[in-house]
Structure formats: C-alpha cells, structure tokens
C-alpha cells in the first residue's frame, strides 16, 4: 500500500468541483481511496463564516466568560455562539468546548477551524460529510471510495491525528469477530475502523500547515474477505465513556 498527495491543487473556493480538480491531476485506479481534507470540502461548499454572523446569546456569553476565567485567555463569545449553532449536544464546556455535531462527530469547538480558512474568520465542517463524499465520488471517473477527513484530538493521548468524518464507496469498518488469532482463539470484539486508519495515513501525508496538499490517494489498500459495517459514531446509549462524562463538571 502507498499514499501520495495530489500535486498542484489551487486555493479552493466556493463552488469549486473537487472531483474534477483531483481527476485532472492524478490518474486514478480502482484500488485507490481518495482522502479529502474537510478543510477543502468546506471551502468548496462555501462553509465559511464571519464572527459577526454570530451575535452571542446568553449561553455563549456564559460559556466564553467561564472559559476565559479557567484558561486565562481571551475568548470571543461570538465564537462560542458559532460552536453552539453547529452543535446538537455540549459534552464539556470547560476547560474547552467539546460538542457533538449534527452528523454525530464529537470534536473540540464542533470542528470549527480557524487555520487554513482562506482568509475568512471561520471554517465550519461540511454539513453532512458522507453526502459530500458521495458527491465527490460521483464526479470521479473511476469507481473508488472517497473519505472526508479532519485532524482531531483524542482523549487519553497527547497529539492529534486524522479521522474520517464522512465516507462513500466502502464500509466504515471491517469485522474480525468470529475469526481466529494465531493460537486458535476466536476474536470476540475486534471491529476495525478502517476509514479512521486510512484517514490517519492520509493526514500523515497532507500535514497541517501551508503544504497545500489536502487530497491524498491511498493506493492498494485491500479490505479483504471480511464483513463490513457502516457504523462509526457511537449512540449515547452504547457510549459508556460519554455517559460517565454526564454528571461530571470541571472544578
Ligand atoms: P483539516 O485537517 O481538514 O483541518 O485541514 P488542514 O487545515 O490541516 O489542511 C490540510 C492540508 O491541506 C494542508 O497541507 C494545507 O496546507 C492544505 N490546504 C488547506 N486548504 C487548502 C486549499 O484551499 N488549497 C490547497 N491546495 N491546499 C489547502
Ligand atoms: Mn485546519
Ligand atoms: Mn480541521
Ligand atoms: Mn489537518
């Protein structure tokens, strides 16, 4: 398996046809997975915003002032308002704002980006990343899967890595349950989130800064002979860590 960046992509603007931009720069194959950073999907979909679009309500002002006192940093209540408007649930409001987006992803600040925004104040995540992935896939000349990725932190470990927000053309995970390990023990719980693993590989190539490489092709990945599942985002009822967070509050 190899991973390489699509070269020569321009600054992406609202209305750009990402599929065509990619297809014109790389000769795709059926064993490719096209991994697109959500940053450019958002730009192409016009998901940019200005802080002035979000006059802060009482909840946002309360969150921002608490964040300010906890972190000692200045917090713009309009940013908190933008996060609230992009979210369906607030998991933590201090010492940072951790929320769930409409499509099920839990991320700091609802994944709203303030870097690589193309000059706008804010870059919101795509509204429905799997639909974005499907649209990009429909525009490609070759029938290969498409992932929409983002860089995201994770609990318990330092550092961030790529995750998949939306996908099309492949299952989200492969199921090893019922197969045997080398000692003949049957695997009971292993469902491998292949879209996140592919996103992590893509993120490794695309980088975070000014590299200008938002699309990475992973070539030669083999799903193998496994059952697949489309599940990625946990329901609250089966998410025990999230349940433990309820009833917890900072300081
Ligand atoms: P995110 O992980 O989806 O938030 O995306 P990043 O902000 O980390 O950017 C990923 C990669 O895409 C980096 O190499 C950026 O330099 C690059 N990038 C971001 N926006 C653009 C763009 O409009 N055009 C090009 N060519 N590259 C971009
Ligand atoms: Mn970014
Ligand atoms: Mn991002
Ligand atoms: Mn990134």
Interface pTM (ipTM) of the complex? 0.98
Q: How far apart are CA 62 and CA 74, in angstroms?
A: 13
Last residue of a domain, one of 125, 143, 170: 125
Instruction: Find out whether the beta carbon of 152 lies less than 6 Å from any atom of ligand 1.
Output: no
Burial class (CB in 10 A: 0-12, 13-18, 19+), 137: buried
Q: What is the mean pLDDT of residues 55-70?
A: 97
Query: What are the φ/ψ torsions at residue 206 (nearest 5 degrees)?
Result: -75, -30
174 and 188 belong to one structural domain: yes
CATH number at 85 reads: 3.90.1660.10
Model pLDDT for residues 177-197, shown as the tens digit of each residue = 988 999 999 999 889 999 999
Last residue of a domain, one of 110, 125, 140: 125
Last residue of a domain, one of 100, 125, 150: 125
Residue 90 lies in domain: 49-125
Which pLDDT value is given to residue 249?
86
Q: How far apart are CA 150 and CA 166, in angstroms?
A: 10
The domain tally of the chain equals 2
| Upper half-sphere CA count for residue 162 (Cβ side, 13 Å) | 28
- Closest of 172, 152, 131, 168 to residue 41, by C-alpha: 131
Instruction: Find out whether the beta carbon of 100 lies less than 6 Å from any atom of ligand 1.
Output: no
For residues 56 and 167, the answer to whether their CB atoms sit within 8 Å is: no
64 and 166 belong to one structural domain: no
134 and 91 belong to one structural domain: no
Q: How far apart are CA 77 and CA 70, in angstroms?
A: 15
Q: How far apart are CA 191 and CA 175, in angstroms?
A: 4
Of 29-38, 110-119, 144-153, 242-251, which gets the smallest average pLDDT? 242-251
For residues 31 and 223, the answer to whether their CB atoms sit within 8 Å is: no
Model pLDDT for residues 196-232, shown as the tens digit of each residue = 999 999 999 999 999 999 999 999 999 999 999 999 9
Q: Which atom of ligand 1 is nearest to the CA of 42?
A: 3
Percent of all residues in the chain with a pLDDT value above 90, rounded to a whole number: 95
Who contacts 118 (Cβ-Cβ below 8 Å, separation ≥6)?
11, 12, 13, 43, 48
Following CA atoms 112, 99, 102, 19 in sequence, which dihedral angle do they give, to the nearest 10 degrees?
A: 30
Q: Tell me, what DSSP letter sits at residue 113?
A: B
For residues 147 and 202, the answer to whether their CB atoms sit within 8 Å is: yes
Q: What is the mean pLDDT of residues 159-165?
A: 97
206 and 138 belong to one structural domain: yes
Instruction: Find out whether the beta carbon of 86 lies less than 6 Å from any atom of ligand 1.
Output: no
Q: How far apart are CA 29 and CA 22, in angstroms?
A: 12
Kindly report the length of the chain.
251
Instruction: Find out whether the beta carbon of 38 lies less than 6 Å from any atom of ligand 1.
Output: yes
Q: Which atom of ligand 1 is nearest to the CA of 209?
A: 16
36 and 111 belong to one structural domain: no
Q: What is the mean pLDDT of residues 236-246?
A: 92
Percent of all residues in the chain with a pLDDT value above 70, rounded to a whole number: 100
Q: How confident is the model at residue 48 (pLDDT cuts 50, 70, 90)?
A: very high
Q: Which atom of ligand 1 is nearest to the CA of 207?
A: 14
33 and 17 belong to one structural domain: yes
CA of 79 to the centre of ligand 2 (A): 16
Burial class (CB in 10 A: 0-12, 13-18, 19+), 1: exposed
40 and 91 belong to one structural domain: no
1 and 28 belong to one structural domain: yes
Which pLDDT value is given to residue 247?
85
Q: What is the mean pLDDT of residues 160-184?
A: 95
9 and 113 belong to one structural domain: no
Instruction: Find out whether the beta carbon of 9 lies less than 6 Å from any atom of ligand 1.
Output: yes
Assigned token pair, 9: 């992509």
Q: How far apart are CA 107 and CA 162, in angstroms?
A: 12
147 and 229 belong to one structural domain: yes
Q: What is the mean pLDDT of residues 167-186?
A: 94
**Residue that wins the pLDDT comparison between 34 and 115:** 34
78 and 135 belong to one structural domain: no
Which pLDDT value is given to residue 34?
99
Assigned token pair, 185: 């023990």
Which pLDDT value is given to residue 251?
75
CATH number at 220 reads: 3.30.1330.100
3-state secondary structure of 133: helix
82 and 201 belong to one structural domain: no
Kindly provide the residue ranges of all beta strands, DSSP E only, lying in 46-141, ordered along the sequence: 48-49, 87-92, 98-101, 106-108, 122-123
Instruction: Find out whether the beta carbon of 213 lies less than 6 Å from any atom of ligand 1.
Output: yes
Ligand 1 pocket test, pick from 8, 107, 214, 215 with the greatest ligand atom count within 8 Å of Cβ, gives 214
Mean pLDDT for all residues in the chain: 96
């Amino acid at each position: 398996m190899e991973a390489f960046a699509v070269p020569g992509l321009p600054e992406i603007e609202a209305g750009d046809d990402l599929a065509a931009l990619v297809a014109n720069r790389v000769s795709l194959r059926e064993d490719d997975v096209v991994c697109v950073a959500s940053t450019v999907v958002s730009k192409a979909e016009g998901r940019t915003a200005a802080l002035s679009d979000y006059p802060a309500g009482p909840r946002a002002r309360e969150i921002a002032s608490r964040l300010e006192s906890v972190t000692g940093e200045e917090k713009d209540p309009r940013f908190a308002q933008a996060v609230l408007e992009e979210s369906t649930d607030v998991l933590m409001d201090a010492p940072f704002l951790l929320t769930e987006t409409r499509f099920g992803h839990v991320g700091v600040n609802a994944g709203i980006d303030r870097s690589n925004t193309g000059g706008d104040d804010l870059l919101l995540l795509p509204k429905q990343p799997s639909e974005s992935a499907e649209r990009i896939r429909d525009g490609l000349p070759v029938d290969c899967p498409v992932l929409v990725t983002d860089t995201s932190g994770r609990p318990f470990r330092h550092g961030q890595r790529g995750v998949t927000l939306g996908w099309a053309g492949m299952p989200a995970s492969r199921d090893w349950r019922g197969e045997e390990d080398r000692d003949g023990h049957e695997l009971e719980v292993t469902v491998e989130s292949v879209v996140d693993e592919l996103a992590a590989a893509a993120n490794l190539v695309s980088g975070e800064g000014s590299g200008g490489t938002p699309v990475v092709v992973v070539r030669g990945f083999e799903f193998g002979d496994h059952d697949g599942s489309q599940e990625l985002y946990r329901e609250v009822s089966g998410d025990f860590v999230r349940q433990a967070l309820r009833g917890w509050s900072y300081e």
